[in-house]
Amino acid sequence: MPNVAGFGALGFERAIVRLEAALREHLPAPHRRLTTEEVKAAYPSRSFERGWRIDMLCSDDVTRQIDLLVTRAFPAGYPRTALVNPPDMLTWPHVERDGILCLLPVLAEVDAEDPGQVGLNLIGRSARLIEELLVGDIVERDFREEFLTYWFYASDVRTKVTSLIDPVCPSRKIRVWRGEDMVVAGENEAQLNHWLVNRFGKRSGKKTFHTESAAFLWLPQPPLPSDYPQTGADLIALATSAGEVDAAILADVAGAHHKDVLVLIGAEGRGGAGLVAATTTAARKISSRDGHVEKPLTKGFTAAGMPPAIAAARVYSAARVLKSEVSRADAAWVHGRGKDPRTARLLAKQITVIGGGAIGSSVTARLVRAGVGTSHIVDPQDFDWPNIGRHELGASSVGKNKAFELAARFSQDFPHLAITGHNVGAQRLIDGYEDLLANSDLIIATTGSWDAEGALNRWHVVNGRKVPILYGWTEKHAAAGHAVLIEVKGGCLRCGMSPTGTPTFKASLWADGQNTVEEPSCGNHFTPYGAVELGHVVDVIAETALGALLDPPLASRHHIWLTGTARLEAEGAMWTDNVTLLGEDLAVGQKILSRDWPARECPACALAEDALIAAE
Amino acid sequence: MDDGVYFMKADLVGDRGAEMTSLQARQMVRDAVDDGGFKRKPEVRPNCVRIFYEKGYHVDMPVYRKVEENGTTVYELASSSGWKRSDARDVTKWFDDARSNSNDGAQLRRLVREIKKFARSRTSWSGSILSGFGITALVVDCQRLNANREDRALYDTMKAVRDRLNYNLVVAHPVTPNDFITSGSDDAKARMLRDKLSQALTWLAPLFETDCTRSQALDCWDKVYNTTYFSERGEDEARAAASYAAPIATSAALIGLESYAGAAVSSSGGGRHA
């Protein structure tokens, strides 16, 4: 036997002995050890190795049997229990086809060091579940509340429908795209097309993604298994149970297209809305032996001359419907599974990230994952091999523009979002893309270039600092990271910088005074650090960005991440007085400090005065 | 004790008429027994040819030559250090004599097997612990018999062997004069046997506590032998003797087990998410 889960063959046998001892000591009546053959015969699709059968006299005076079953991995994982001779599938919730009982949620944990107690506990839970099922109160409730699970058990096809729709009332017409191995449903043509172009790229030439009408049926309560539609007629009956208007929507879709209809069905289960899908089959072509192809749906009519009512009646006829699961890919679900109150606000936000280097790419990645709806990435440089070690892009992007590549990568991975790349420098951006900047909810500058960020700051102050700008950079070896958020009040960027862009507040002091390393080429400098050290810096900048979007401060703020003091000293550096004067205990380091970014009479702020005078 | 393969010295001649070395003789036997049907080919070992069987066991086949010396016949073993005076039959006779001389030959044989079994109870010890022959020699020397208590005899013999190895790690060959089963005065394999015996004796300490239960005692022996054999036997006994409260359990009685064993299952998990 392989050494499974660290316990090995002997651990398995020991656990079995302990489990049997526990059963003998604590069960009030004898139990029976099942033979391997019995276990395999009763549960052929499972990998159970041993089993025990316990007779149980239930409250209805019927004796039922519970099997306790373990795999070779035991005592890792946990034993399963089964009801012997269960009722037909979908008669009782939490009982699978072969009688296996669903007792524990996915996140449950068991004490593998006490297998006997685990076995007893699960027998107790099984007995309780069976009694609750006999009483019956939970049967309808759980079938409704957990309807996604039971629809899955009843499903006819394994391919899931990917849904972009907002699963809320009312029933309505939607759109569907059917690919070779993927079916995607969206609210409308525009949303669906946006998603498909992002996900798969534009189609060549004049080709577009062909979409069709589909229906979304919102039910006042989730269906019971007895309501699950087997035929088209069942489907229209289910819609009618919700309302005449709902049924009319299904009929409309069928009547308009003379094709089979995808119906997404939504309802409120436990923990939120759930979606399932059913597809009619009445329009499937039938090929006869002589090569003749019959189209049963349009039989007797030309395509144009077929009355919609007849088309609908034929679609929702005795022909079978195919039930399938739905994978939600709508923005609210992707970002927080519909439970994060920040999601809707973030989806409405627009950011512009200037500088798609190591920091900019990773900050953008975090904000995109957080669900920022619209992102613009600005960078004139091409991606190169030395960038790979600490950048979101990889080898496939070498030689291509960073902004375009990041936008393409994120668009493909987050097709519901709007992400655009701009192959321009900061100066060109300020001169030609004022609307982009002005319409952003937040601008993030991670160029490390004073030429670019000084210019951006001048644009900012002259335009009244209406849009907050977050500047992010790292010090040598990523020993400290800075996130400076410039708001309407407080200092502008220049207020805390020298004329050549040296911050007045530096955290680390390096013995050699050198902050950079040269490449063997004219003027090419860089600072060596790795993706791991940089991660902390990226995080503090991304967190500041999120705060600026959701809960902006009243005035400019400065957040500094400090590496571990031991690491700093090992590199031959020390903390500056700036940091030590903040009064923090820096014995360990690895902390985030926050301070105001105060205003002072700086040349850039004077430009704002000039602009006001000019405006008068 | 395994059988050996015996040749007349005169028959063991190499390609060019020279006398076969001990290695050549073992290689010749290895080639002869390898009929191509073995999953794992037979191997030449320092003192024998080893044949592996699919079920996991092996048979060692020592190779001897018969030498006439001054009118008497002696036997030499093909060993890693050349042709060495030795005869498996002498060893067999030695052990038979030891059993005859013992007050309980049958128990002596069992004690040898029990301590060998202990030495082979962990795959990780394989090749690092004293050979079965070495253990046999030590058990013969240190046997502590007990007609009424096999467990007591085994414990006492284990302790006696450990004490003997504490005193001296050298184990002499019981038959061949001036030959040793161990190598040097600090043989690593003998040292390992001594240390593992010490560990086992520690595991067996609860046996001597006044409140030691049968179940605890069986667990001790399980630990020594790295098995569940003893506790399974105890469980079978307990099962046979169990008297249940009812012929059939009510659901109410079973439901009570959930709270009785509540700590073993956490429905809400450990609170760690990834």
- Express each pLDDT in B3-23 by its tens digit: 789 999 999 998 788 899 999
A contacts of B264 (beta carbons < 8 Å): 110-111, 114, 117-118, 120-121
- Beta bridge partner(s), residue A56: A64, B249
Which tens digits make up the pLDDT trace of B49-74? 999 988 888 899 999 999 998 888 88
Measure Cα distances from A516 to A355, A447, A452, A519, A595 in Å: 19, 16, 19, 10, 27
Lowest mean pLDDT among A245-259, A399-413, A524-538: A524-538
The answer to whether A59 faces chain B, any CB pair under 8 Å, is yes
Mean pLDDT, rounded, for A532-544: 95
Between CA A161 and CA A174 the distance in angstroms is: 13
A contacts of B216 (beta carbons < 8 Å): none
Between CA A307 and CA A448 the distance in angstroms is: 67
User: Which amino acid, residue A587?
Assistant: A
pLDDT for res A1: 46
Radius of gyration of chain B (CA): 26
Between CA A422 and CA A436 the distance in angstroms is: 11
Q: Compute the nearest-CA separation of A32 from chain B (Å).
A: 11
pLDDT > 70 fraction of chain A, expressed in percent and rounded: 95
Higher-scoring residue by pLDDT: A304, B42: B42
> Is the pLDDT assigned to residue A3 strictly greater than 50?
no
Mean pLDDT, rounded, for B81-94: 86
Between CA A562 and CA A585 the distance in angstroms is: 12
Measure Cα distances from A114 to A17, A39, A417, B230 in Å: 11, 23, 49, 19
Q: Compute the nearest-CA separation of B261 from chain A (Å).
A: 5
Q: Nearest Cβ partner of A57 from B245, B249, B256?
A: B249
Residue A53: φ, ψ to 5°:
-115, 130
> Is the pLDDT assigned to residue B273 strictly greater than 50?
yes
Mean pLDDT, rounded, for A468-493: 96
CA dihedral A182, A187, A192, A195 (to 10 degrees): -90
Mean pLDDT, rounded, for A179-192: 96
Between CA A299 and CA A409 the distance in angstroms is: 47
pLDDT category of residue A615 using cuts at 50, 70 and 90: low
Lowest mean pLDDT among A161-175, A295-309, B176-190, B232-246: A295-309
Mean pLDDT, rounded, for A170-178: 97
The answer to whether B253 faces chain A, any CB pair under 8 Å, is yes
Which of A19, A32, A53, A56 is best to mutate for the B interface (most B CBs within 10 A)? A56
Residue A410: φ, ψ to 5°:
-70, -35
The answer to whether B254 faces chain A, any CB pair under 8 Å, is yes
pLDDT > 70 fraction of chain B, expressed in percent and rounded: 99
Note whether A56 contacts B228, CB cutoff 8 Å.
Answer: no
pLDDT category of residue A224 using cuts at 50, 70 and 90: very high
Higher-scoring residue by pLDDT: A452, A294: A452
Between CA B107 and CA B146 the distance in angstroms is: 8
* C-alpha atoms less than 13 angstroms from C-alpha of B52 in its C-beta half-sphere: 11
Nearest CA in chain B to A54: B249
The answer to whether B242 faces chain A, any CB pair under 8 Å, is yes
Nearest CA in chain A to B225: A10
Q: Nearest Cβ partner of A29 from B231, B238, B247?
A: B247
Angle at A118 between CA A113 and CA A121, to 5 degrees: 155
Note whether B232 contacts A55, CB cutoff 8 Å.
Answer: no
Which tens digits make up the pLDDT trace of A102-126? 999 988 999 999 999 999 999 999 9
pLDDT for res A410: 98
The answer to whether A62 faces chain B, any CB pair under 8 Å, is no
Mean pLDDT value across chain A: 92
> Is the pLDDT assigned to residue B156 strictly greater than 70?
yes
Residue A110: φ, ψ to 5°:
-125, 160
Angle between helices A450-462 and A603-615 (to 10 degrees): 30
Mean pLDDT, rounded, for B32-44: 92
Note whether A29 contacts B265, CB cutoff 8 Å.
Answer: no
Helix, strand, coil fractions of chain A, as percent rounded to 5: 40, 25, 40
Parallel/antiparallel/unpaired status of strands A109-110 and B72-79: unpaired
Higher-scoring residue by pLDDT: A74, A514: A74
Note whether A24 contacts B258, CB cutoff 8 Å.
Answer: no
Between CA A18 and CA A40 the distance in angstroms is: 23
Q: Compute the nearest-CA separation of B273 from chain A (Å).
A: 9
Note whether A109 contacts B270, CB cutoff 8 Å.
Answer: yes
Which tens digits make up the pLDDT trace of A142-169? 999 999 999 999 999 989 999 999 999 9
User: Which amino acid, residue B215?
Assistant: S
- Beta bridge partner(s), residue A574: A509
Between CA B231 and CA B213 the distance in angstroms is: 12
pLDDT for res A2: 47
Between CA B130 and CA B193 the distance in angstroms is: 6
Mean pLDDT value across chain B: 93
Higher-scoring residue by pLDDT: B1, A438: A438
pTM, two decimals, is 0.81
B contacts of A110 (beta carbons < 8 Å): 264-266
Higher-scoring residue by pLDDT: A8, A241: A241
What string of DSSP letters covers B125-163?
GTTTS--HHHHHHHHHHH----SS-HHHHHHHHHHHHHH
- Cβ burial of B132 (10 Å; 0-12, 13-18, 19+) is middle
Note whether A29 contacts B262, CB cutoff 8 Å.
Answer: no
Q: Tell me how crowded residue A319 is: count the other CB atoms within 10 A of its CB.
A: 18
B contacts of A3 (beta carbons < 8 Å): none
Q: What is the DSSP letter of A81?
A: E
Between CA A187 and CA A170 the distance in angstroms is: 12
> Is the pLDDT assigned to residue A526 strictly greater than 60?
no
Measure Cα distances from A362 to A165, A205, A410 in Å: 29, 34, 11
Q: Tell me how crowded residue A185 is: count the other CB atoms within 10 A of its CB.
A: 27
Between CA A593 and CA A581 the distance in angstroms is: 12
Which tens digits make up the pLDDT trace of A263-321? 999 999 998 999 999 999 998 877 777 777 777 788 888 877 888 889 899 999 999 99
Which tens digits make up the pLDDT trace of A497-510? 999 999 999 999 98
Higher-scoring residue by pLDDT: A28, A290: A28
- Beta bridge partner(s), residue A335: none
User: Which amino acid, residue A57?
Assistant: L
A contacts of B231 (beta carbons < 8 Å): 14, 17, 21
